[in-house]
Amino acid sequence: MFYFLSKVAYALIAPLSIVIIFFLLYFITKVKRNLYYGFGLLIFFTNPWLAQSVIKFYEVPPISIAKTEQFEAIIVPSGFVSNFMLNGVVRANYNDGNDRMCQAIDLYKSGIAKKIIYTGGADTVFGGFIPESRLGKEFMVKCGIPDSCILIETLSMNTFQNAKYTANMLENLDKNWKQKRYVLVTAGFHMLRAKLCFEKQGFNVVPYSADIKSLRSRNTILNTIIPSYGGFQLWTFMMKEWIGLVVYKVKGYI
């Protein structure tokens, strides 16, 4: 129920939803103030320079890790793979956040860890999908990583569960797992909440941010003055994270 309600809440507070609500209020009430608010927010949210400037402040900045450093494993939380049937064959669909998996593969091949832990189940609200971690593991094996070096957790449906169920899995494999170091790879805008969740479960993690949104076409004239739906997307990412932080804090997840 919490997972379903969170999806509904995120949809309602999305910037585009807020703008549409003000326009609807204007058409229903004919109060011009609602129309002005709608247009004002539309201009505000579609300015990509402003959105990228704000998300740069919130993102956990990327770091480099020396090849001489050693970690127990590289942890990759889910959130960027779904699947569909095409001519009777299951096809994985990778969205914009798949940079975290690419970065994890690159880190593994640099030799800093001998294992990758992919944590993520299936979306059981909007469809019966194959657990994301299974699809991700198949892809990584195709990239040359040995099957035996990839551990998967297939039940989690959000960041809190990513951390909790991964901790439960490791507890059954190694009683000393909390004394070891891990690299956590996820999107820069999502890293703060993810890091807090994993630390709450006892992980000693080094945050390795991927999918850095603030680096895309910043400080160009066209990017500054021309409205873009990309601004809506960035604000949606941020507002979702901000609400997630508040909710997770209230529920004791972080």
pLDDT tens column, 85-109: 777 777 777 777 789 999 999 999 9
d(CA 240, CA 205): 23
Q: How far apart are CA 187 and CA 60, in angstroms?
A: 9
Q: Which of 238, 79, 96 is nearest to 156 (CA)?
A: 79
Question: Would you state the pLDDT for residue 81?
Answer: 76
Q: How confident is the model at residue 95, as a pLDDT?
A: 79
Q: Residues 163, 63, 177, 70: what is their CA dihedral angle, to the nearest 10 degrees?
A: 150
Whole-angstrom Cα distance, residue 26 to residue 71? 56
DSSP 62: P
Cβ atoms 113, 151 nearer than 8 A? no
The pTM of this model reads 0.87
**Do 112 and 70 meet the contact criterion of CB atoms below 8 Å apart?**
yes
Distance CA 115, CA 71 (A): 9
| pLDDT score at 199 | 97
* Angstrom distance (rounded) from CA 108 to CA 157: 25
175 exposure class (CB count in 10 Å sphere: 0-12, 13-18, 19+): exposed
- The pLDDT assigned to 214 comes to 81
Residue with tokens 């669909």: 93
pLDDT of residue 50: 86
Looking at residue 5, its pLDDT comes to: 59
Could you give the CA distance from residue 242 to residue 44 in angstroms, rounded to a whole number?
A: 18
Q: 73-211, what's its fold?
A: Rossmann fold (3.40.50)
Low-confidence ranges of the chain (pLDDT < 50): none
- pLDDT (0 to 100) of residue 209: 95
pLDDT in the model for residue 113: 95
Any idea where the domains of the chain sit in the sequence?
2-59+225-251, 73-211
Q: Are 208 and 107 in contact (CB under 8 A)?
A: yes
